[in-house]
């Protein structure tokens, strides 16, 4: 790990390169702290999707995983979108293909297809609307449908079903390994160790873990909650990268992770050096076929318009 001076120098060089290239650096809340600190914008999938659509920059450097960079390209097709680490994928997104979603849809004609933004462009192109963990309940409510197909995250779909008891949610069997592996015992142990702490749980977790939460929130919602909630201590049940942003959003408060820590290996593949190299060498560009992007854009823009 480089020392603080080396990190600061590399961050300064990245900012200089970004100005020279008319580039904006976007980083997900799960990225390494030093990447979050140099980014122009940090946030969750919904917030970053909006930034990608709104930016005037010619180049978008996306410190995240592949589906996120694809979403940026879908919303800003005229921009050059660079993903500093091409191996940064998402196991959940790989749990369904466009062909599989199309076949599932054909088995249930007339039922709206709601797709988590953690999915490929091809999958989005077979969807009626996309959602994030921040707006899934609101978007499904806005559809006004009695039944929906929800892919690929079964846990987020179960949270939607619980929140909207009048809606039947048919689930695809996908999941986030980082969140799905959290156990009741881990959360209970954290509660015993920190009895005064509020428990914030991400809806990608299993239902029995969600049952232990004081609040069930997306990453952006956790940041707002920690900043405004009178409590001083919080148990954070989501990927470890968020704790950096939480300390910045609510200075002086204490945030406790589960043991073992929740780490997404794909999110952690991106390094500051790779962000630098993406700007220097103009790599690695993310492309989405025009016909796929056009269909996917409809579903993503519906999501952005609703919330």
Domain boundaries, the chain: 4-89+267-288, 93-176+291-306, 178-257
Q: Determine the Cα–Cα distance for residues 124 and 301; give it in Å rounded to an integer.
A: 11
Mean pLDDT confidence for 280-287? 97
In the predicted model, is pLDDT for residue 307 greater than 80?
no
Contact 127, 97 (CB under 8 A): no
In the predicted model, is pLDDT for residue 45 greater than 90?
no
Q: Is the CATH number 3.30.2270.10 carried by domain 178-257? A: no
Q: Name the residue among 195, 160, 179, 185 with its Cα closest to residue 237.
A: 179
Give tens-digit pLDDT for 161-201. 999 999 999 999 999 999 999 999 999 999 999 999 999 99
107 to 30, 113, 234: CA distances (angstroms): 36, 12, 44
Give tens-digit pLDDT for 213-241. 999 999 999 999 999 999 999 999 999 99
Give the model's pLDDT for residue 47.
82
pTM score, whole prediction = 0.95
Query: Any idea which fold 4-89+267-288 has?
Result: Rossmann fold (3.40.50)
CATH placement of domain 93-176+291-306: 3.40.50.10800
Mean pLDDT confidence for 199-215? 98
In the predicted model, is pLDDT for residue 135 greater than 90?
yes
In this prediction, what percent of the chain has a pLDDT beyond 70? 99
Give tens-digit pLDDT for 66-83. 999 999 999 999 999 999
Q: How confident is the prediction for the chain on average, in pLDDT?
A: 96
Q: Determine the Cα–Cα distance for residues 146 and 166; give it in Å rounded to an integer.
A: 7
Is the fold of 4-89+267-288 the same as that of 93-176+291-306? yes
Phi, psi of 227 (to 5 degrees): -75, -30
């Amino acid at each position: 790990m480089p020392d603080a001076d080396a990190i600061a120098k590399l961050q300064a060089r990245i900012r200089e390169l970004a100005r020279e290239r008319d580039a904006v650096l976007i980083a997900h809340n799960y990225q390494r702290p030093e990447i979050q600190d140099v980014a122009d914008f940090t946030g969750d999938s919904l917030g970053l999707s909006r930034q990608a659509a709104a930016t005037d920059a010619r180049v978008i450097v996306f410190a995240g995983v592949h589906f996120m960079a694809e979403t940026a390209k879908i919303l800003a097709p005229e921009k050059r979108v660079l993903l500093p680490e091409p191996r940064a994928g998402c196991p959940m997104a790989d749990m369904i293909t466009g062909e599989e979603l199309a076949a599932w849809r054909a088995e249930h004609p007339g039922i709206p297809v709601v797709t988590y933004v953690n999915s490929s462009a091809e999958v989005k192109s077979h969807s009626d609307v996309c959602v994030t963990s921040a707006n899934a309940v609101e978007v499904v409510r806005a559809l006004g449908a009695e039944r929906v197909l929800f892919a690929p995250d079964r846990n987020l779909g179960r949270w939607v079903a619980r929140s909207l008891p009048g809606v039947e949610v048919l689930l695809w069997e996908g999941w986030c390994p980082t969140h799905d592996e959290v156990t009741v015992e881990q959360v209970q142990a954290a509660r015993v160790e920190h009895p005064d702490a509020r428990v914030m749980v991400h809806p990608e977790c299993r239902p029995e873990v969600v049952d232990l939460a004081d609040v069930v929130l997306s990453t952006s919602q956790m940041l707002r909650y920690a900043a405004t909630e009178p409590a001083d201590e919080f148990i954070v049940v989501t990927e470890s990268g968020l704790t950096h942003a939480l300390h910045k959003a609510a200075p002086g408060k204490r945030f406790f992770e589960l043991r073992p820590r929740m780490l997404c290996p794909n999110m952690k593949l991106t390094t500051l050096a790779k962000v630098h190299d993406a700007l220097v060498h103009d790599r690695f560009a993310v492309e989405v076929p025009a016909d796929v992007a056009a269909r996917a854009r409809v579903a993503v823009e519906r999501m952005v318009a609703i919330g």
